[in-house]
Amino acid sequence: MSTGSPDSLLPDGETLEELSNSPRATFDVEKIRAEFPVLDQRVNGHPLIYLDNAATTQKPRSVIEAIGSYYSNNNANVHRGVHELSQRATVDFEQSREKVRNLIGASSIEEIIFVRGATEGINLVAQTFGRTRVRAGDEILITTMEHHSNIVPWQMLCEQVGAKLKVVPINDRGEISLDEYESLLGEKTRLVAAAHLSNALGTINPVHEMVRLAHEKDIPVLLDSAQGTSHLEVDVKDIDCDFLVLSGHKMYGPTGIGALYGKKEHLSAMPPYQGGGDMILSVTFEKTTYNELPHKFEAGTPNIAGAIGLGAAIDFLESCGVKALMEHEHEVLVYGEEALRNLPEVRLIGEAKEKSSVLSFVVAGVHPHDLGTILDHQGIAIRTGHHCAQPTMERFQVPATARASIACFNTKQDIDALIRGIKSAIEVFT
Ligand code: 7TS
């Protein structure tokens, strides 16, 4: 059963191609909102305003239906049945892989490995590529703004092999300096692992330059694009990164599914991550031979429904038009930043020149958790805490921030409600 793209999101009479080529392409946020059933509810007596998209995005109807349709019509295991249902499930599962490939501009589906999420993708690279390439005394270079998922797997690897973790500092706006970055790329650096778009600050890193500088010294680069693929145009061939991870649930897809992109030359040379069914060509007690890419890295029954849901999410993203979506989100972000700057009690954390989708801030006299609770009483969902980026919090000398994170369905009215809520919290606490 094909998941199909939700053509209803297109402005009347326009085809997808016309929309993406058209300079007057409009972004109809009300049509988009209507695609998200969860938004149509009241929370604590108020219309839901969902501003926690960096934690997980809401899901459009087409994604929910694609998952339901797989279980209602086609449920079977993939890659092993001659029967009709297994063949349908396999076709839809593999079509989703092709959709991921196309979205990020990879050369081949051999370079797209389905994983549980960005976290698993990074751990896979650390424990396969890392374990075979990194030796005692070598270095892995990350940045200060990483999510714990892009810190801890490298620390574990460093402990296992006796390597060292090096960290690129960030300035008060939450940006790295390319000069400092370049000076940390040394003879012992075996890999750079960096956020594409920071979940805690919203900083978009200069990934093209970072990759170019690393490659000048033959150092491969992994990009953590967990936040990137729903907010930015991502082309792995253009960026020339060696690895990139993405996360289904942060790009309107389901939880428990993501993808690892790796250049074929690396993936071919890497040992498997886990052993089990589907990742083998033949097994005897004496010897096992491994399957072709990408299956070599996909042991066991995969998250079939998740992959199909991710495929539908990619259809959704493409039907919105990633460019139009970026413009819309940028407008809402800039509107939010200006409104927050107008509140003297508010300090924005993360003011990079190149920024997307994240409003991270602290309010003098109001603990972020109290703010989060007051906003929740008004039906407004934000995240408060360290956002799994404790070193970033430490850099800004705050224990936690409040974070409103924007998706394609958010509006300036959502920001107005957020600002009203913050003002009411300031009144209560100061
Ligand atoms: N990398 C970044 C930059 C992230 O923002 C996250 C999740 C991950 C990795 C982990 O991704 P997953 O696919 O394994 O879930 N970030 C957040 C967040 O900001 N709030 O909750 C989860």
Q: Which among 250, 383, 401 is the best mutation to test ligand 1's pocket, defined by most ligand atoms within 8 Å of the CB?
A: 250
The residue contributing the CA closest to ligand 1 atom 22 is 55
Same-domain status, 46 and 74 = no
Assign residue 383 the CATH number of its domain.
Answer: 3.90.1150.10
Provide the residue type at 384 as one letter: T
Same-domain status, 103 and 232 = yes
Separation between Cα atoms, residue 239 and residue 210, nearest integer Å: 9
% of the chain residues with pLDDT over 70 = 94
Same-domain status, 362 and 285 = no
Residue at 76 is within a domain: yes
The residue contributing the CA closest to ligand 1 atom 18 is 55
Q: Which atom of ligand 1 is nearest to the CA of 149?
A: 9
Assign residue 282 the CATH number of its domain.
Answer: 3.40.640.10
Q: What is the pLDDT of residue 25?
A: 54
Q: Which atom of ligand 1 is nearest to the CA of 196?
A: 3
Separation between Cα atoms, residue 170 and residue 27, nearest integer Å: 34
Q: Which among 147, 197, 207, 382 is the best mutation to test ligand 1's pocket, defined by most ligand atoms within 8 Å of the CB?
A: 147
Q: What is the pLDDT of residue 5?
A: 39
Residue at 162 is within a domain: yes
Same-domain status, 263 and 298 = yes
Instruction: Confirm if 58 and 252 have CB atoms less than 8 A apart.
Output: yes
Q: Which among 199, 360, 401 is the best mutation to test ligand 1's pocket, defined by most ligand atoms within 8 Å of the CB?
A: 199
Q: Which atom of ligand 1 is nearest to the CA of 248?
A: 13
Q: Which atom of ligand 1 is nearest to the CA of 225?
A: 3
Instruction: Confirm if 389 and 12 have CB atoms less than 8 A apart.
Output: no
Same-domain status, 260 and 139 = yes
Residue at 213 is within a domain: yes
Same-domain status, 383 and 314 = no
Q: How far is Cα of residue 305 from the mean position of the Cα atoms in its chain?
A: 19
The residue contributing the CA closest to ligand 1 atom 7 is 55
Where does a domain end: 318, 335, 368? 318
Same-domain status, 132 and 237 = yes
- C-alpha pair distances (Å), 84 with each of 70, 75, 90, 176: 13, 10, 10, 53
Query: Domain limits at 167?
Result: 63-318
User: In the structure, what pLDDT confidence band is assigned to residue 81 with cuts at 50, 70 and 90?
Assistant: confident
Instruction: Confirm if 360 and 201 have CB atoms less than 8 A apart.
Output: yes
Residue at 292 is within a domain: yes
Alpha carbon of 225 to ligand 1 centroid (Å) = 9
Same-domain status, 113 and 167 = yes
Quote the number of domains for the chain: 2
Of 68, 400, 125, 383, residue with least CA distance to 250: 383
pLDDT in tens, 15-41: 434 444 444 457 899 999 999 999 999
Alpha carbon of 382 to ligand 1 centroid (Å) = 15
Same-domain status, 325 and 256 = no
User: In the structure, what pLDDT confidence band is assigned to residue 8 with cuts at 50, 70 and 90?
Assistant: very low
The residue contributing the CA closest to ligand 1 atom 20 is 55
Q: What is the pLDDT of residue 15?
A: 40
pTM of the model: 0.94
Alpha carbon of 135 to ligand 1 centroid (Å) = 28
Residue at 40 is within a domain: yes
Catalytic site residue from 158, 241, 320, 388:
388
Mean pLDDT, rounded, for 83-106: 98
Q: Which helix (H) or strand (E) holds 20?
A: helix 16-21
Same-domain status, 264 and 279 = yes
Where does a domain end: 291, 318, 345? 318
Where does a domain end: 318, 337, 370? 318
pLDDT in tens, 177-218: 999 999 999 999 999 999 999 999 999 999 999 999 999 999
Active site residue 320: no
Mean pLDDT is lowest, of 16-30, 134-148, 378-392, for 16-30
Same-domain status, 88 and 36 = no
Instruction: Confirm if 35 and 61 have CB atoms less than 8 A apart.
Output: yes
Residue at 272 is within a domain: yes
Q: What is the pLDDT of residue 7?
A: 38
pLDDT in tens, 260-284: 999 999 999 999 999 999 999 999 9
Residue at 337 is within a domain: yes
Of 141, 187, 137, residue with least CA distance to 163: 137
Same-domain status, 233 and 348 = no
Tokens describing residue 104: 């990020």
As for ligand 1, residues whose beta carbon falls within 6 Å of it are 54-55, 117-119, 147, 149-150, 195, 199, 224, 226-227, 247, 258, 383, 387-388
Cβ neighbours of residue 197 under 8 Å, at least 6 residues apart? 203, 204, 205, 225, 227, 228, 231, 232, 356, 357
Alpha carbon of 124 to ligand 1 centroid (Å) = 16
Alpha carbon of 285 to ligand 1 centroid (Å) = 40
Residue at 1 is within a domain: no
